Amino acid sequence: MKTLKYILLGLGVVLTPIAIYSYSQYKKALETCYLTAGIVLHNISYNLLSFTLLLKIKNTTDVAIILKNQHYDIYFLDVKVAEASRPDKQVIHANSCSPFSIDVSFSPSKVLGNILSSLADIIKNKEKIKIKVVAIADINTMGFTKKNFHYETTLTLKDLLDEEPNSDGECKC
């Protein structure tokens, strides 16, 4: 009986720190941030604007994070213009930044009213052109899974065109 008691106590002493560490890494994974890496324009016309939004995901944990079932809603000047999905599994390695891209295409005529009302300001000020990305994904790390994790970031045209986007924020690569 004493032997079983010592075995259970030993297991508790060994497994408790592992469980605490695993859970702390999981909580840290939920604080993962997205960085602007740039934009690649494919087509600009009245009927079609298509581009690839280049982003990076920063993982500050000591373990890999796996993203699955990614869904993105893209807003241009506060109007939802596109949806994108990535059904593939994406691994974000420990203590690193992993690049990824979202292909976006929409008809600018959908947001023409918003653009025309402040066209002069937009032309003068790149901070006025805002692209919002709302992401929902399943996150898995060290056996913990968070379904439908929600993340939102707003980028400006200035952010996308800067040589060193996001260089002044806490989320650096």
DSSP secondary structure letters along 132-154: EEEEEEEEEETTEEEEEEEEEEE
Topology at the third CATH level for domain 2-161: Immunoglobulin-like (2.60.40)
pLDDT more than 70, % of the chain = 80
Ordered mean pLDDT values, 10 residues apiece, the chain (173 residues): 74 73 74 76 83 83 86 84 83 86 80 62 69 86 83 78 56 69
**Tell me, what's the pLDDT at 8?**
72
**Contact status, residue 53 vs residue 133, Cβ threshold 8 Å:** yes
User: What would the pLDDT profile of 121-168 be if each residue is shown by its tens digit?
Assistant: 666 776 777 888 898 988 888 777 889 888 888 877 777 666 555 544
**Tell me, what's the pLDDT at 117?**
59
Domain chopping of the chain, boundaries:
2-161
